[in-house]
Every structure is written in C-alpha cells, then in structure tokens.
Amino acid sequence: ITSDTQLVNLLSEEVSADSGLGQDVFQGLGKTPKKLSSRFFYDAKGSQLFQQIMKLPEYYLTKLEFSILKEQRKEILYAFGTQEPFQLVDLGAGDAYKTKLLLQELVAQKTDFTFVPVDISPEQLKELLEDLSLRFPSLPVTALAAEYFTGLQWLQKHSARKLILFLGSNLGNFNPDDAQEFLCQLRKLLQPQDRFLLGIDLRKDPEKIRQAYDDAAGVTAAFNLNLLHRINKELQANFEVDQFQHFAEYDPVGGTMRSYLVSKQAQEVYVGALDQTFSFEPWETIHTENSYKYSLRQIKEMALTCGLAIDDIFTDHSHCFANVLLRP
C-alpha cells in the first residue's frame, strides 16, 4: 500500500457498536403489517450473497451497468472533463467492481485524480485498498468509512472538483420521497464544476424485473432469509428460518419491486436481546425491501425539482438501465 493511500474512519463509535438492528426489529415486528429494513441485509454473509446475486443470469442490473461503463467510459469521462485534477468519489463503493472500469481508463490516460471510495464497512474498504494496490500501485486512494453525507461533508474541505458516482441503482432502495430528498441534499454539496453519475434501473417488462428478484438458484431467497439468521445471531433470537419463505412481487404501476419473508405456519419467535416474543399467523408477511424502478422522465423531474440538470444519458442497447450524468 503506497503512502498516497489512506483509510479514514468517520463512523462514530456508537454507530459502529450499535447498528440499530434491535430498534428496527422492535418497531418493525411490532407493527401490522410487519416490516424490517433492507439496510440490515449487508452483514458479512449478506454482502457475500449480494456479490453472488450480481453474477446471477437473472440479475441483469449489474451486467447492463457494467456494459454501459465498459463501452461508454471514454464518453462518460470526456463529458466530465478530466484535464484538471479531481476526486472520483464512489458512494457505497463495495468492491468497486464496476468503478474499476473507470479507474482502468483513467490510469491508462495518466489522469491526475484521487479515488475516494465511501462505504459503511471498514472491512470491505480494507479489502478494496489491497486489491487496488495490486491492480493500480500508483493510484492515490482516500477510502472513507462513513455514511454517504458524512463522507461528502468531510470532502468539502478539499477544493478539488468531484465526479461523484452513485451506481448500482442504489437510489432505488430509497422510497421516492427519500430519493428526492437524497438528490436535493446532494445538490447542496455540489460546486458548479462537480458532476454526479447516477446508475438507475429503468422501467421495463415487469416479468423480467420480477425474475431478477426471484432467481431460479434461490440466491436472492437466501439473501432475504439471511436477515433472520442475522437477527438470531446478533439479537439472540430463535427464528426457525426454514419456516419462512422468500416472496417477490413487482407492481408495474408504482414501479415497485417488493420483497417479503412469509411465515409458512403459525409461530412465535423470541428475541432475547429485546426480551420480546413476536407472533406470526400462518402466511403472515414481513416486508423487507423495495427496489423502485424509474422512467427517464421521472428521473428528469426529480433532478429538476432540486436544481440538477441532465448533462448526458448513457444507456444500454435495450434501454433497461441508465447512467445519468447530472450537473448543478
């Protein structure tokens, strides 16, 4: 690891000690209908399952975004303009699988830039730093273990221009009001020369969408059910995980892909850390995730609402996925 590489941990100690899972379980399973937040999918096992999802034949999102970035990276970087030094900020970087396409191109062009992956998992960032030090030994990297906005605020002290990436249709996991709010908050942190590249899953054949969240190999089911394993482990609960099943339905009116865990029988679950018992009726549901799909018109409207303009739209041949370049 070179001297130009650093890992900055901006996660406050309370936040890293308490993920908020207990509170989410207490509130979410106490409600009718029951729900849990998809934020908690990503423990070590969940992150590993998500890496597997991204390789599934049905999960077209990753493949399409990868192909857009691969085939159009020169145009994307040209539209941003890479002559002046800048920071390439990757919100929710993970293993930066797709971002490496841009890094490769920028390094090949001998561009003067710093890579700034932002992620809430310091372990994930450490792995990424090692990987990058092998692939791109002279690339300066400042890795930020932080929530998105804490990371962005911390970066405000650097005057460098920024290209901020928010890939993978991560915006789709926010409900539409929160997605709008997110864009507006982000807009406030942008300087006139900064740009924002948003990866978004578009509306399409409803059946294709549904299958992406209900794959034949059952990896998405395992990913969803892992939430119960996590609660068992971290909150000393006694979910009988095989007494629940994964169910995914797509609502083409609202563009909402919804995932549930369904109780196959009447059962009671005790959560030790909360000293609480939760009862399930036969076939009662726990709503665990929304993945919203947008049309380009909706994206334009959301952008416009908070003073962002569309510079360019990069899509795949089938117009199933888009990477939208936005400017303040």
Residue ranges that bind ligand AVI, judged by CB under 6 A: 53, 61, 168-170, 172-173, 213, 220, 289, 291
Report whether 99 contacts 91 (CB < 8 A): no
Task: Report in angstroms how near the CB of residue 83 gets to ligand AVI at its nearest.
Answer: 33
Report whether 57 contacts 241 (CB < 8 A): no
Task: Report in angstroms how near the CB of residue 38 gets to ligand AVI at its nearest.
Answer: 7
In terms of CB distance, is 172 or 255 closer to ligand AVI? 172
Joined tokens for residue 25: 């379980």
In terms of CB distance, is 87 or 173 closer to ligand AVI? 173
Q: Of the candidates 44, 161, 180, which has an alpha carbon nearest to the alpha carbon of residue 113?
A: 161
Which residue in the shown chain puts its C-beta closest to ligand AVI? Answer: 291
Task: Report in angstroms how near the CB of residue 196 gets to ligand AVI at its nearest.
Answer: 17
Task: Report in angstroms how near the CB of residue 94 gets to ligand AVI at its nearest.
Answer: 9
In terms of CB distance, is 142 or 291 closer to ligand AVI? 291
Q: Is 216 helix (H, G, I), strand (E, B) or coil?
A: coil
In terms of CB distance, is 77 or 167 closer to ligand AVI? 167
Report whether 87 contacts 75 (CB < 8 A): no
DSSP string, 145-205: ES-HHHHHHHHTTS-SEEEEEE-TTGGGGS-HHHHHHHHHHHHHH--TT-EEEEEEEBP--
Task: Report in angstroms how near the CB of residue 16 gets to ligand AVI at its nearest.
Answer: 21
SS3 content of the chain, % helix, strand, coil (to 5): 40, 25, 30
Task: Report in angstroms how near the CB of residue 265 gets to ligand AVI at its nearest.
Answer: 25
Joined tokens for residue 280: 């399930």
Element (H, E) at 143: strand 141-145
In terms of CB distance, is 180 or 193 closer to ligand AVI? 180
In terms of CB distance, is 37 or 114 closer to ligand AVI? 37
Long-range contacts of 20-29 (CB under 8 A, 24+ apart): 21/230, 21/231, 21/234, 21/235, 22/235, 22/273, 22/274, 25/231, 25/235, 25/237, 25/271, 25/274, 26/274, 26/276, 28/286, 29/269, 29/271, 29/278, 29/286
Task: Report in angstroms how near the CB of residue 257 gets to ligand AVI at its nearest.
Answer: 7
In terms of CB distance, is 59 or 196 closer to ligand AVI? 59
Residue partners of 224: CB distance under 8 A and separation at least 6: 41, 246, 259, 261, 288, 289
Task: Report in angstroms how near the CB of residue 103 gets to ligand AVI at its nearest.
Answer: 21
In terms of CB distance, is 314 or 321 closer to ligand AVI? 321
